[in-house]
Structure 1
Amino acid sequence: MEGMAIRLTGLRKTYGRTEAVAGVDLEIADGEFFSMLGPSGSGKTTVLRMIAGFETPSAGTVELAGRDVTRLAPFERDVHTVFQDYALFPHMTVEQNVAYGLKVRGVPRAERLVRSRAALAQVGLDGLGKRRPAELSGGQRQRVALARALVGRPRVLLLDEPLGALDLKLRERMQVELKEIQREVGITFVFVTHDQEEALTMSDRIAVFHQGRIEQVAAPAEIYERPATPFVAGFVGTSNLLSGDTAQRVVGASGTYSIRPEKIRILSDHKAAGDPGHATAAGTVAEVVYLGDSTRFLVDLDGGGRLTALQQNLETSSADLAAFRGARIGLQWHPSHAVRVPDAPETP
């Protein structure tokens, strides 16, 4: 187990007749930024809580650094959890909040002061130790919660949707900063989120959860470019899923295929042959969705089926794009971008 921070084997959790986690096997390496991604109710947070010790598995084991901790209390595990609501003490200063866990463990006052200030510096909050949480912004309070977790020097840091309460711009900035902090401290981060962009932006690897099971574990690029199941293809980003007669007609093969909208190029002439070696299709623009930096085209294909294409707005505005609605256009893509998606495994 050298180099392995977490190992989950046959992990299950039931609440009466409801099976929240239905058999999870997973290994997470030391120093890895690992994300658990999935919709609400997929089991990801329950798995995180079993790693932390807040929930007891109905079956299976949790190992941390090769040690079976399945039945140990949270304080007996070398992990720390950061929650979405921060849970800071309003009557304490920032410095006191960060040092509180050390005080409970009996760390001498002088050492607590040094370590709490170092942790605050690590998250970019130098000089703010004397303030109260109410005097900080949402992003600063999130960093205080992170510093409080890091000051104890845990082997594993668990983050349960910690950016969910932040506005978009702050969330995007914190995504970058979290990854930088993780690289600097070098400990294992396990990040739970339902936001695909967050997971793709920060993670070394991602586990995609669905109905209490893991559908795929891989690096972000592999998850996005080569989804292992139809659910992964549809949940992570936007994808055109083609099957049955539509797949036979558009791709020229049976089975289920995924084509990402940004891989499809729009041809203004629906009769154009397209570039050599590329697949083509013609259709009518059913809807145009202006996204600012890009535009999404929903195209009803001749013969049935619909494809979504994405085009960067390099020289066009929303006014120019309105004229496309109802227009006849052509589409083209490289055959390698029609990725075969294996059928989802049957649920026991």
Structure 2
Amino acid sequence: MQPTGRRTFLALGLLLTGAALTACTDAPHRDPGRPAGDHSRPDPDEPVRRRALDATDTLLAAYDALLPQAPQLQPLREDVARHRAALDTATTTPTSSTGTGTPGAGTSGTGTSGTGTSGTAAPGATPATTAATVPTTAALASLERQTAQARLADLGAASPALARLLASVSAAGVLHAVALGDAAPAAAPAPSASVPPSASTTASASADATAAPFQAALGAEHAAVYGYGVVGARLTDDGQRTAARTSLAAHQARRDAWQRLLTGAGAAPDPAAAGYQLPFPVADAASAGRLAAHLETRLTTVYADLVAAVPTPQRPLAADALRESALRAHQWGAAATAFPGITDTPAGTSTPTAAGTGTPTP
């Protein structure tokens, strides 16, 4: 049983984590000496953006080749069109896939890039594949997975905002691959409890830049570990209980990884709170499953923001955590979204507040 004492809202720990990380990245990344609307200077993200757009056009062509025989793929194709629109706009933050607006004003989302494709291979380029070589759903699933992986190769070369978008779109691609029947993305190994040497070295060299965002991520994992303890206690199906234990172990490993990284940066990892207030009552297996989906969905926001908040060598760590939480959210029945981790807060959703402040709770 969790000891009584200082209590914080579980949802608050996750939501405020996202807010803390977003605060590091919400400022525009435009050159401060460049007037608004002045497009005379080249976009430093253009090479990365062009590779991402070319890969997206390949996906769109593959979907279009299959749609006549498989019209059920249309929702996935629409997600990819949203990805293209967002990638084609330097400063537009993508909205929820269920929203009315399409990010990236001025793009048609039809799969034509508007400019020629790059003639040279690049780190983030998708393997050369055309619609003619993607005649089956299985091949399309493989292409989605390969494209998702290729997008991550450009994380270090992108601006923080574009890196965040690439990580989210990559996670969406993995979810598409799973929906299309590819089991490979779901079979990824559990997160390592150790920190890669490059990440630890960077953390030690830039403790101030590393500590705050990773402390926020650590706090979110503390809350997730607590939450899965509640989830596991309410489940009755053996398969679901096994899934809950697996998820709990993954979050414990991720928590330990952030603690090691912070220690390597010379910072004392924040401890877990004595207890957490759940975002809604959890009295049976159905509500336990909803809590698991809630935990993972909130963590996708935490990790999408973390991608943009940390030094570039550590972005893959955050992107990997985003992908895993997106997959687990899907497995627990969370609603699908075109942009895992950077969707808008649904209308009417209140923001939980800390217990003991006198502020009304949701």
User: Which TM-score applies when normalising by structure 1?
Assistant: 0.28
Which structure has greater helix proportion? 2
Which structure exhibits the higher relative contact order, with contacts defined as CA atoms closer than 8 Å and separated by 6 or more residues?
A: 2
More strand by share: 1
Find the structure with the greater CA-based Rg: 1
